């Protein structure tokens, strides 16, 4: 340990006498990085500038999130229908058939909205209430996870 103290003292003296700002030294399992005050002051100023940029960017993102939440609040009757199982989403009974629903359609409670195939079982997903289809959030034959958002519905 005493050996490293001597080396450290010599390195500090060498750094003070030189025009270097930083000195990094490694020997066996010992490593040391030392710098002059001017180096750390400059790095601190750069770090503060970078943090300010990051803060401004986060502020813009947070402002956008607040605006989005306000838009959602205005659409009080809009609800999200989530997938009750994981599997393949089908918008119709067969590839040639028309989709069960289209955006803008008004449907009654219990009407079939789509089919999700899970383990060779065809699960019909039905409207939980009288509603209008605002948006379909997945495409035909997409794989959907359990609890994935599949429809935006306006409750009537």
Among 89, 91, 141, 137, CA closest to 113: 91
| Separation in Å, CA 104 to CA 22, 56, 75, 115, 147 | 66, 39, 15, 19, 23
Mean model confidence pLDDT for the chain: 78
**21 backbone dihedrals φ, ψ, rounded to 5°:** -95, -30
CATH number of the structural domain 78-155: 2.40.50.100
Query: Residue 120: phi, psi to the nearest 5?
Result: 65, 10
Distance CA(118)–CA(61), nearest Å, equals: 38
Find where tokens 């809009």 sit.
78
**Domain spans of the chain?**
2-72, 78-155
By DSSP bridging, strand 112-118 and strand 143-144 are unpaired
Q: Partners of 26 in the beta sheet?
A: 31
> Binning pLDDT at 50, 70 and 90, where does residue 18 land?
confident
Virtual torsion, Cα 125, 105, 154, 145, nearest 10 deg: 30
Model confidence at 12: pLDDT above 90: no
Torsion of CA 151, 152, 155, 156, to 10 degrees: -90
Mean pLDDT, to the nearest integer, of 27-54? 62
pTM: 0.51
> Quick check: 21 and 39 in contact, CB under 8 A?
yes
Q: What is the pLDDT of residues 127-151, one digit of tens each?
A: 999 999 999 999 999 999 989 999 9
36 near 19, Cβ under 8 Å? no
pLDDT tens digits for range 94-120:
889 999 999 999 999 999 999 999 888
Q: Is the dihedral of CA 37, 39, 41, 43 positive or negative?
A: negative
């Amino acid at each position: 340990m005493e050996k490293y103290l001597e080396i450290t003292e010599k390195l500090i003296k060498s750094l003070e006498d030189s025009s270097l700002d930083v000195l990094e030294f490694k020997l066996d399992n010992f490593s040391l990085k030392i710098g002059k005050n001017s180096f750390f002051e400059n790095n601190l100023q750069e770090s503060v500038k970078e943090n300010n940029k990051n803060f401004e960017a986060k502020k813009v993102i947070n402002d956008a999130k607040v605006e989005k939440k306000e838009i959602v609040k205005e659409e009080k009757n809009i609800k999200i229908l989530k997938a009750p199982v994981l599997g393949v989403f089908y918008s119709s009974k067969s590839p040639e058939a028309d989709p069960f629903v289209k955006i803008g359609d008004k449907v009654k409670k219990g009407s079939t909205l789509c089919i999700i195939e899970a383990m060779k079982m065809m699960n019909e997903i039905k409207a939980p209430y009288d509603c209008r289809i605002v948006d379909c959030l997945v495409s035909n034959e997409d794989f959907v996870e359990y609890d994935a958002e599949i429809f935006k519905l306006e409750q009537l």
